[in-house]
A and B are shown apart, each in its own frame.
Chain A
Amino acid sequence: GAGVSQSPSNKVTEKGKDVELRCDPISGHTALYWYRQSLGQGLEFLIYFQGNSAPDKSGLPSDRFSAERTGGSVSTLTIQRTQQEDSAVYLCASSLLLAGGPRTDTQYFGPGTRLTVL
């Protein structure tokens, strides 16, 4: 079946512009995560959606970052007034959490969007 997809794969923008990154999770997955990975660095948690619950936004680095998940499926990460330090690979992951089942949170990652802010 189809895995997690992200678009665009690459995005080059000018400082100060807004960008939108899209994530299509695996169908039926209830949880969706956004991460940021800078060159040579580990994954930095940004935001987490689980079902219809309020998202956990505790990882968003500033109020220029926002994300939404429509209909419990597709998610969009928006970065307003981009800065050069926003340049990174933005990864999306989804997982299936079964009610009453063992908690594993195995995450399935997309290929990422490489954002370059000039």
Chain B
Amino acid sequence: SQKIEQNSEALNIQEGKTATLTCNYTNYSPAYLQWYRQDPGRGPVFLLLIRENEKEKRKERLKVTFDTTLKQSLFHITASQPADSATYLCALRYGQNFVFGPGTRLSVLP
């Protein structure tokens, strides 16, 4: 079965710094990997998708990398702001299903 690990349950960083979140997966080679943001009491919101043939994808202050050899994706938020505080989930499609990581709760301190 597929398993996804995210580097830490919680991450605290100072405003203005770059936050780096890690997603590692096993036993599978997905065609793409997704990142979602989840705020308390709300459903996840899609942020970025990166395909297996893409090394890097950017969207405003967000950057995602995908290393299929390491089976790892890194999610970066540059110039972080307190409004970036949320839980970030990575997800990949495994057969007909989606498998989500447990999430990393990011807190950006002013």
A-side residues, CB < 8 A to B, are: 4, 33, 35, 41-43, 45, 48, 50, 56, 58-59, 91, 93, 103-112
Assembled-state Cα–Cα distance A41/B101 (Å): 9
- What B residues does A45 contact at CB under 8 A? 97-100
Closest residue of A by beta carbon distance from B51: A102
Given contacts A58-B97, A103-B31, contact A42 B46 (CB under 8 A): no
Chain A at the B interface: mostly helix, strand, loop or mixed?
A: loop
- What A residues does B31 contact at CB under 8 A? 103
Given contacts A43-B100, A56-B96, A56-B97, contact A106 B34 (CB under 8 A): yes
Does B45 have its Cβ within 8 Å of any Cβ on chain A? yes
Q: Which of B77-110 contact A (CB under 8 A)?
A: 89, 91, 93, 96-103
Chain B at the A interface: mostly helix, strand, loop or mixed?
A: strand
Of A42, A59, A93, which contacts B103 at CB under 8 A?
A42
A98 to chain B, nearest CB (A): 15
